[in-house]
Amino acid sequence: SKRRILVCGGGNGAHCLSTLAASQKNSEVQVLTLFQDEAERWAKQLEDSDVKLTITDLDGSQQDLFAKPILITKDSEKAMSGVQIIFLVVPAFAHAGYFMAIEPHLQPNTLIVGLPGQAGFEFQCRSILGDKASTCTIASLESLPWACRILEFGRHAQILGAKESLGISYIKGKSCDLPFPVVESIQDILGKKPKIEEIQNYIAINLMAKSMVHPPILYGKWGDWDGKPLQKEPLFYQGIDERQADLLSKVSDELIATGKKLEQLKEGIYMSQVIHIFDWYKTYYKDQITDKSCLMMAMRTNSAYDGLVHPMIKTEEGYIPNFNYRYTTEDIPYGLVVMKGIAEIAGVDTPVMDEIIAWAQQKLDKEYIVGSKLSGKDVGTTRAPQSYGLKTVDELFDT
C-alpha cells in the first residue's frame, strides 16, 4: 500500500515538496493549508491539471515532473485521515497553528517533520501535543533542502540546486513504535540529494539553526546607521564586511561553547556536529563558493547568494532598512532568543548574542533580554525553552 504524506503549508517549499512526493509511485500526498483561502484557490487550479515542478541543477540541467496531491484542504480532520508522515513546510511563526490543528486527529506512531524545524520547533510541538507527544516521533531538518520558489501559484514551482547534505535530528516518543525508519523514509521522499545526515540530539540541531546567520549581518550593517536613506539596496551576504563577518563568527563560537558545555554536563550527549558557521559554509556550499580563505570571503563569493539584498523599504528619498522582515521577526523569537535560552540553561555567557538581541528587540518593540538575562516581559512569546517551563539541563534532555 502507498504511504500517505501530509504537507502543511501552501508556499514555495510546500508546492515543491508536495509535488516531488506525489510524483513517487509509493507515496500519496494530502495538503493542509490554514492560510486564508489558499486551499480553495490551489484546489481550483488543479481541477484539470497537475502541478509542474521544474528541478534545475547547479550545472544548469533541468527536469520537469508533473504530479498533484490527492487532496488540498483547510479541514484538518480530512487532511489527517490515514497519514503516516506530516511535514510542516511553513515559516516558524505559522507552526503553532498547525500543531493545534493536527493534535485532535493525531494517531499514535505518526512522524512529524519540521522542514525546516527552526529553533524551538520541538519545544513548541511537544508542548502543544501534550500527552500525545510521547506517542509519535518529532523530527527536524536544519534547513529547507533546496532554494525554491513558486513560478505560478498552484501550478508551477521550481527547485534550484539541492544542498549537498542536510542534518536531521528526531525525538522518538517513549511509547512510539514507528513502523518505518525515520532517516531512510525522508531520504526516499527527498530523493538522492541532499544526503540526510543524522544529528545525535535535537539540542544540537537547535544550535545549528540557520536563523543565526541573519541577525549578526543586520546588526553589523545597521547598528550604527545614521538614518540617511541609501540610493541602492545593499547586497546582503555578498556585501558583508569584516565587522559583520566577525559578529557572525563570534555568535557561532558562542553556540559551539554552549554545545561543549552541555556535553560536559550531560552524559551520553555529543555535540561535535555543532560546527562553526565557516566550516558549515565550506561543506554545504562546496561548489558555489570560489574563495574559501575566510568566512567573509566565503560569503562574498557564494554564488547561491547572487543578487540577494538587504530587506529595504523604498521611500521618496531612497531606501531605508526594513526591520520588520523575517530576518528579525522570525530569526529573533524563533532563532537567536531560543539559542540564548539554551545557553542560559547551560550556564554559558553569550555577550555577542546578547548585544544583537538587545538591538533587535528595540526594532521589534519587544523585550526579551534584560542585560544578559532572558527575563524580559516578552520571553513567553518566543520559542525559548523557558517559555515551556524547561529550566535545567536534565529537563532539556528528558524526552
Q: Any idea which residues carry the catalytic annotation?
A: 214
Residue nearest to ligand NAI (CB): 11
CA nearest 163: which of 62, 275, 302? 302
Q: Is 217 in contact with 244 (CB distance < 8 Å)? A: yes
Q: Is 9 in contact with 36 (CB distance < 8 Å)? A: no
Q: What share of the chain is helix, strand, coil (3-state, %, to 5)?
A: 40, 20, 40
Q: Which is nearer to ligand NAI, 138 or 396 (CB)?
A: 138
Q: Which is nearer to ligand NAI, 8 or 348 (CB)?
A: 8
Distance between CA atoms of 270 and 219, rounded to whole angstroms? Answer: 31
How far CA 4 is from CA of 111, 165, 249, 369, 387, in Å, comes to 11, 25, 42, 43, 33
Choices 142-150, 161-169, 229-237, 361-369; region in contact with ligand NAI by CB under 6 A: 142-150
Q: Which is nearer to ligand NAI, 80 or 89 (CB)?
A: 89
Place of cell 536534565: 394
The DSSP output letter for 84 is S
Interaction with ligand NAI in 24-63: which residues (CB under 6 A)?
33-35, 38
Query: How many CB atoms sit inside 10 A of residue 180's CB?
Result: 12
Q: Is 91 in the site for ligand NAI (CB under 6 A)?
A: yes
Place of cell 544540537: 204
Q: Is 147 in the site for ligand NAI (CB under 6 A)?
A: yes
Among 69, 114, 116, 376, binds ligand NAI (CB under 6 A): 116
Among 4, 12, 300, 329, binds ligand NAI (CB under 6 A): 12
Distance between CA atoms of 247 and 255, rounded to whole angstroms? Answer: 13
Q: Which is nearer to ligand NAI, 13 or 215 (CB)?
A: 13
Q: Is 229 in the site for ligand NAI (CB under 6 A)?
A: no
Choices 87-95, 190-198, 310-318, 352-360; region in contact with ligand NAI by CB under 6 A: 87-95
Q: Is 254 in the site for ligand NAI (CB under 6 A)?
A: no
Polymer length of the chain: 399
* DSSP bridge partners of 27: 3
Query: How many CB atoms sit inside 10 A of residue 311's CB?
Result: 17
Q: Is 194 in the site for ligand NAI (CB under 6 A)?
A: no
Query: How many CB atoms sit inside 10 A of residue 34's CB?
Result: 20
Choices 5-13, 54-62, 236-244, 287-295; region in contact with ligand NAI by CB under 6 A: 5-13
Among 96, 97, 135, 301, binds ligand NAI (CB under 6 A): 97
- Count interface residues toward ligand NAI (CB under 6 A): 22
Minimum distance, C-beta of residue 363 to ligand NAI, in the bound complex (Å) = 19
Binding site for ligand NAI (CB under 6 A): 9-14, 33-35, 38, 89-92, 94, 97, 116, 118, 143-144, 147-148
